[in-house]
Amino acid sequence: MATSLAVILLLGLPAKRIFEKLRLPGLLGMLILGICIGPYGFNLLQKDMMNISEDLRGIALIIILIRAGLGINKDDLKRVGSATLKMSFIPGLIEGTFIMFASMKFLNFSFVQGGILAFIIAAVSPAVVVPSMLRLMENNIGMKKRIPTLILAGASIDDVFAITIFSAFLGIYSGSKINIGVRLLNIPLSIILGIIFGGVIGLILIKIFKIYHLRDTKKVLLILGLAILLNEIEHILKSKLEIASLLGVMTIGFVIIEKLPEVGKRLSNKFNKIWILAEILLFVLVGAQVNITVALEAGKIGFIIILVGLIGRSIGVLIALLGSEYNLKERLFCIIAYIPKATVQAAIGGLPLSLGVEGGDVILAIAVLSILITAPLGAIGIHYLSEKLLENSIN
| Model pLDDT for residues 63-107, shown as the tens digit of each residue | 999 999 999 888 888 888 789 989 999 999 999 999 999 999 999
The overall average pLDDT reported for the chain is 91
Q: Which of 97-111, 210-224, 267-281, 286-300 has the lowest mean pLDDT?
A: 286-300
Report the alpha-carbon distance of residue 214 to residue 209 in Å, rounded. Answer: 7
Distances (CA, A) of 61 to 125, 136, 268, 323: 10, 18, 15, 33
**Chain centre distance of CA 182:** 25
Report the alpha-carbon distance of residue 130 to residue 143 in Å, rounded. Answer: 15
Provide the greatest CA pair distance for the chain. 63
Domain 54-278+300-339+349-389 has CATH 1.20.1530.20: yes
**Chain centre distance of CA 333:** 17
Report the alpha-carbon distance of residue 32 to residue 7 in Å, rounded. Answer: 14
Do 290 and 38 touch, CB atoms closer than 8 A?
yes
User: Which tens digit of pLDDT belongs to each residue from 109-168?
Assistant: 999 999 999 999 999 998 899 999 999 999 999 999 999 999 998 988 898 889 889 988
Residues ≥6 apart with Cβ < 8 Å to 294 = 40, 361, 364, 365, 368
Closest CA to 277 of 21, 25, 57: 57
Report the alpha-carbon distance of residue 108 to residue 229 in Å, rounded. Answer: 42
Give the residue ranges of DSSP H helices in the chain.
2-21, 26-37, 47-51, 53-70, 74-87, 90-106, 111-121, 126-138, 147-173, 180-211, 216-237, 245-259, 261-288, 292-320, 328-337, 343-348, 351-354, 360-389
Would you call 356 helix, strand, or coil by DSSP?
Answer: coil
User: Which tens digit of pLDDT belongs to each residue from 371-393?
Assistant: 999 999 999 999 999 999 998 75
Burial profile 17-36: b = 16 or more Cβ within 10 angstroms, e = fewer: eebeeeebbbbbbbbbbbbb
Confidence of residue 347 (pLDDT cuts 50, 70, 90): confident
**Chain centre distance of CA 217:** 26
Closest CA to 172 of 353, 357, 373, 389: 357
- Given a cut of 60, is residue 394 above it in pLDDT? no
Residues ≥6 apart with Cβ < 8 Å to 240 = none
Q: DSSP code of 71?
A: T
Q: DSSP code of 24?
A: S
Closest CA to 137 of 246, 292, 253: 253
Domain extents in the chain:
54-278+300-339+349-389
Report the alpha-carbon distance of residue 378 to residue 310 in Å, rounded. Answer: 11
User: Which tens digit of pLDDT belongs to each residue from 178-202?
Assistant: 666 777 778 888 889 999 999 999 9
